[in-house]
Chain A
Amino acid sequence: QQQVKQSPQSLIVQKGGISIINCAYENTAFDYFPWYQQFPGKGPALLIAIRPDVSEKKEGRFTISFNKSAKQFSLHIMDSQPGDSATYFCAASKAASGSRLTFGEGTQLTVNP
Chain B
Amino acid sequence: GAVVSQHPSWVICKSGTSVKIECRSLDFQATTMFWYRQFPKQSLMLMATSNEGSKATYEQGVEKDKFLINHASLTLSTLTVTSAHPEDSSFYICSARNRGPNYGYTFGSGTRLTVV
A and B form one complex:
yes
Chain A residues with CB under 8 Å of chain B are: 32, 34, 36, 41-46, 49, 89, 91, 93, 95, 97-101, 103-106, 108
For the complex of A and B, 5 pairs with smallest distance between CB atoms = A43-B107, A43-B110, A98-B32, A43-B109, A44-B107
Q: Do B103 and A95 have beta carbons less than 8 Å apart?
A: yes
Q: Do A101 and B49 have beta carbons less than 8 Å apart?
A: no
The digit string for B77-116, where 1 denotes a CB below 8 A from any CB of A, is 0000000000000010101010001011111111010000
Q: Is the interface of B mostly helix, strand, loop or mixed?
A: strand
Q: Do A101 and B105 have beta carbons less than 8 Å apart?
A: yes
Counting residue pairs across A and B whose Cβ atoms lie within 8 Å, the total is 53
Q: Do B31 and A41 have beta carbons less than 8 Å apart?
A: no
Chain B residues with CB under 8 Å of chain A are: 6, 31-32, 34, 41-44, 46, 49, 51, 91, 93, 95, 97, 101, 103-110, 112
* Given contact pairs A97-B31, A103-B43, A41 touches B112 in the complex (Cβ within 8 A): yes
Q: How far is the CA of A101 from the CA of B103 in the complex (A)?
A: 12
